[in-house]
Structure 1
């Protein structure tokens, strides 16, 4: 897939393995096609499709032989979307997940490919999340992930004929389904335990579950259709740790040995120069939650309360900072900055109640959790309390702007990356899918005008004391550059300190290497000018 300079209007491309010839299969400038998956016979492609002005994802099936497209789903309500099509092994059925815009409810459907007739497999009362992961080889069951058992994501087998659900796990961490082995004897799933993800192998006959002996970090089952080799003897997985980006590994079931296939670290960059984080926990300010955070401390940093620290806020908000490789965090740590990355209320990974705790309260309790991260890092003995920096992208950029306006005395500098700052204009101008999501999680902007104003940093620009660096993408459909521009114009009008860079050939985040390098350098130079690191010998540049 490829879009146009980050606008997320994706097209699907075919590449000849023999000649390398590339063909734009869909070639629809105003329609996005995503998540293509081949039928078992290699003739058909199923994928998600959404016109630019629509808030709904439907599922289409493309016949590569006849070069014809037909709709598998159609007429879906504007506050729902159909995602993640999965083929049965005989190619006669597709199972898919239908999500509600609010993100608190979803269902699994199975569709007959020949006629497009869909059948609901997960009827339920109340709000519950169900997602399909894989068809069993005999086509009788679906491996699913759902939070219906105890409010946490767990793995189960869904019988298609009876719609009966048999739970395989009932843990209080985030468990996600993987694949069936080709012989139907085994199932994989992953368990995200406070930011570290392990892969498990479950023997269906005996019920025995084994944790694979894999490196610490984030491990995910790989493969386009299945992680298992055809004979089931080996398993493809991806490993991503704090000291190296995503690599492909092979696990042998016979001898429990792993082998690294790719090496993503570029020459001259050493894994041992990367800093492994500490996992810490602290109470929320209101006492309702225990907040998890990763803390990165530069090597050789003296405990003398002279160093600056960055509170790095993840986006989403339904996302999570995990123990994986972060270019921007490692770059800043290697400049001599301590980093704390909190998983505030609303983050994934900690159950339904925690994830939904910021609904209709965006920029409220979650901001207090971010401020509590600043409280915690100041107590470590490493940090000068007057040298705190707030940084984040997307919703993390929004939280950065909320922080520097609602708690202006805390921060020495702020770096909002692809932020939004005004709930009214954000909902008016963002992609229609996100518009439905924001309306479902913040309410109606007319009825909830007071809330929208209170949670829009643009109305409190006059409170800002910290210098800001804003970075934006010229084709961003999620947080348009006009959001950041509002901040720049308002700060300049009142004579404040602000720097601004728009990457015109980027979208929501920076995909081009040259832009990534430029952005990271800008951040480092900006922070060194306003909040320089201590002269401690803890930076690779010293």
Structure 2
């Protein structure tokens, strides 16, 4: 430990992270946590410290809110005493997607909307600004209300498009950079305008925008330096990233050649002296590396890399603006430190003291005096603390899910194995706490997606629920998953119904061969694409599974071609075509047309208003099972989308799962 951190005061956080040492086992006969503990969702998110270090803003979730009542609030607390300052109630199902301080007293907040458990909150197209005390609320952009009084005084100064935050000026001056992927519209001649992207400097008080950059390419992101949009980048397909640059004072953009950038370079930030560009870079489709280069991409140097895993996140020093660590999330997450800055030293010391946790710094004040500490583990959903670099004191703040007791939760073990075609894959094995770890009833738990999504080591609600009921849980990051680079993701395309399913089976066979899983007591459960996999696995491996649980899963891919909320969008049509193929191929890999091979009881659970995987996937499957005389159990809920949002519905699902698995696994 660095000498000046030797006096680090950790007692408070040890109490907050109430984790038993790994050698301590639960007493036999200890009752399992109630189902309701797993049906609840995290109480806080998006913590952010003001530049002067005086305020902490965060999003609070009220899982007891009734339908139509505000279930999220934007809350501001004074530091370090945590005295309440203000609260802003969100409209029902709306929440902050991000909280960004643009001055010592003002925040900019993009909004997100969610009505389902299986999807990340989706941006609404609204960005608001508000003072720390809740005053002077201003709408900076609203796609829904553009042109109305509700959208703010300058709502027509920017075109219709999908907004996102591109950053803030340095030093912060109350302004924010908002980038737009502009929605094409018909011009006076009746022709469609070309796809465009723009970026604006927006005053968060007046909402007045100033155009900073305009490029005739759709869905581009921008990198700004000294109030000049210097780079734009984006992708038109799944195979490459285009990077454009322009000189100071010039409007024209020049595409940087592949010979310099390669096909997969994603610019992140420009150094404050304007000489260095930091980017994520994939060489020949391999795992993403953190690299530095000149602004045109030349002179590239590797700062952090791993032969197996991509850089999952980059940690930036608030004072210098430089990256000080890179996070690799595959297996047991680990950090690669890039310098010996104070932030790096603090992080090393904290991770050394909390070896069972992954500890990260979630930002801090501009003086580098107060740093927000975020700690999480395989058994702990997460805790927040405040580190004072002047006193070296660590002050506990909040637990994200205080009703979860980490000492009752199960260990998640990363594992690697070779798929049957020789590809190296990874997965996670969650073992019931206090069990013998041998020949256990087992649930195979495929993740959703499938492309660009992955399972990780940190707390997983489904896996912990199943383990708390005595089941070993096997999860596999099959080809197509995130975290391994573009080539690994592309390896999942056109293989939804064969190689991906075989990867899952190969991971299950690894657990059986190692003696963890009882080969005669295995079921499969998943949501979304995982629900599809839960239907495909018994078809792929007759006799291997005793039952299946299909939660908002695809039974007929051709329904998505017609009715999914993405099917009418060009990006959605492109994805279906590239990832699956034509409708004939979609039907060929659909469980609905292979039910003669499906011979296990299945629990079908689906939201009746699901826009992503339409409800017809469940009803057509039910009708076909009825016609074939095959056993199933049923749970559907009105007003629910892609996964159950209401706590009482999630609790009912878990209760039915517990009874269903107990019935067929005899546990």
Give deviations 1:158-189, integer Å, cap 9, x for gaps. 32256442322343132245254355484233
TM superposition shift of 1:296: 1.3
In structure 1, the partner of 2:510 is 376
In structure 1, the partner of 2:165 is 36
Q: How large is the RMSD of aligned CA atoms in angstroms?
A: 3.9
The residue correspondences of 1:157-176 to structure 2 (distance < 5 A) are 157-160=292-295, 163-172=298-307, 173-176=309-312
1:98 lines up with 2:234 in the alignment:
yes
Check the 8 A contact 2:526/2:551 in 1, yes or no. yes
CA–CA distance in structure 1, aligned partners of residues 463 and 441 of structure 2 = 14
In structure 1, the partner of 2:126 is 12
Moved more, 30-39 or 149-158: 30-39
TM superposition shift of 1:313: 0.8
In structure 2, the partner of 1:129 is 264
TM superposition shift of 1:285: 2.0
In structure 2, the partner of 1:440 is 578
The residue correspondences of 1:37-186 to structure 2 (distance < 5 A) are 37-40=166-169, 41-47=173-179, 49=181, 58=197, 61=200, 63=202, 64=204, 65-67=206-208, 75-76=216-217, 81-83=219-221, 85-88=222-225, 90-93=226-229, 95-102=231-238, 104-110=239-245, 118-121=253-256, 123-124=258-259, 128-148=263-283, 151-160=286-295, 163-172=298-307, 173-176=309-312, 178-184=314-320, 186=322
CA–CA distance in structure 1, aligned partners of residues 577 and 387 of structure 2 = 44
1:281 lines up with 2:413 in the alignment:
no
CA–CA distance in structure 2, aligned partners of residues 44 and 185 of structure 1 = 17
1:329 lines up with 2:443 in the alignment:
no
CA–CA distance in structure 2, aligned partners of residues 13 and 91 of structure 1 = 20
Calculate the TM-score normalised by the size of structure 2: 0.67
In structure 2, the partner of 1:357 is 491
Q: Against the structure 1 CA distance between its residues 86 and 260, is the aligned structure 2 distance closer, same or farther, given a 3 Å change threshold?
A: farther
Q: Against the structure 1 CA distance between its residues 473 and 238, is the aligned structure 2 distance closer, same or farther, given a 3 Å change threshold?
A: farther
TM superposition shift of 1:236: 4.0
* Selected match of 1:314 from 447, 461, 464: 447
Check the 8 A contact 1:249/1:262 in 2, yes or no. yes
CA–CA distance in structure 1, aligned partners of residues 181 and 541 of structure 2 = 42
Check the 8 A contact 2:163/2:178 in 1, yes or no. no
Check the 8 A contact 1:37/1:46 in 2, yes or no. yes
In structure 1, the partner of 2:378 is 242
Check the 8 A contact 2:184/2:195 in 1, yes or no. no
Q: Against the structure 1 CA distance between its residues 263 and 358, is the aligned structure 2 distance closer, same or farther, given a 3 Å change threshold?
A: same
In structure 2, the partner of 1:416 is 550
1:470 lines up with 2:604 in the alignment:
yes
Give deviations 1:212-250, integer Å, cap 9, x for gaps. 342457858665xxx354234665453331111133355
1:203 lines up with 2:336 in the alignment:
no
Report the 3-state secondary structure (helix = DSSP H, G, I; strand = E; otherwise coil) of the residue aligned with 2:415: strand
CA–CA distance in structure 2, aligned partners of residues 39 and 185 of structure 1 = 12
Point out the structure with max Rg over C-alpha: 2
Consecutive unaligned residues of structure 2, counting only runs of 5 or more, are 1-110, 146-159, 186-191
Check the 8 A contact 1:237/1:251 in 2, yes or no. yes
CA–CA distance in structure 2, aligned partners of residues 113 and 434 of structure 1 = 37
In structure 2, the partner of 1:391 is 525
Check the 8 A contact 1:94/1:110 in 2, yes or no. yes
TM superposition shift of 1:152: 1.7
Give deviations 1:267-313, integer Å, cap 9, x for gaps. 3x311111112222332123x123322111112324674x4200111
TM superposition shift of 1:421: 2.9
CA–CA distance in structure 1, aligned partners of residues 475 and 608 of structure 2 = 27
Calculate the TM-score normalised by the size of structure 1: 0.81
The residue correspondences of 1:247-286 to structure 2 (distance < 5 A) are 247-249=383-385, 260-267=396-403, 269-286=404-421
TM superposition shift of 1:350: 3.3
Report the 3-state secondary structure (helix = DSSP H, G, I; strand = E; otherwise coil) of the residue aligned with 1:435: helix
CA–CA distance in structure 2, aligned partners of residues 216 and 52 of structure 1 = 51
Check the 8 A contact 2:411/2:433 in 1, yes or no. no
In structure 2, the partner of 1:348 is 482
CA–CA distance in structure 1, aligned partners of residues 633 and 248 of structure 2 = 53
CA–CA distance in structure 1, aligned partners of residues 220 and 519 of structure 2 = 48
CA–CA distance in structure 1, aligned partners of residues 251 and 622 of structure 2 = 50
CA–CA distance in structure 2, aligned partners of residues 21 and 532 of structure 1 = 60
Q: Against the structure 1 CA distance between its residues 495 and 147, is the aligned structure 2 distance closer, same or farther, given a 3 Å change threshold?
A: same
CA–CA distance in structure 1, aligned partners of residues 358 and 184 of structure 2 = 34
Q: Alignment length, in residue pairs?
A: 515
TM superposition shift of 1:144: 0.9
Check the 8 A contact 1:145/1:156 in 2, yes or no. yes
CA–CA distance in structure 2, aligned partners of residues 166 and 256 of structure 1 = 34
Give deviations 1:321-378, integer Å, cap 9, x for gaps. 1111111110111011110111222223334443332222222112111112222233
Consecutive unaligned residues of structure 1, counting only runs of 5 or more, are 534-542
Check the 8 A contact 1:38/1:45 in 2, yes or no. yes
Q: Against the structure 1 CA distance between its residues 220 and 471, is the aligned structure 2 distance closer, same or farther, given a 3 Å change threshold?
A: farther
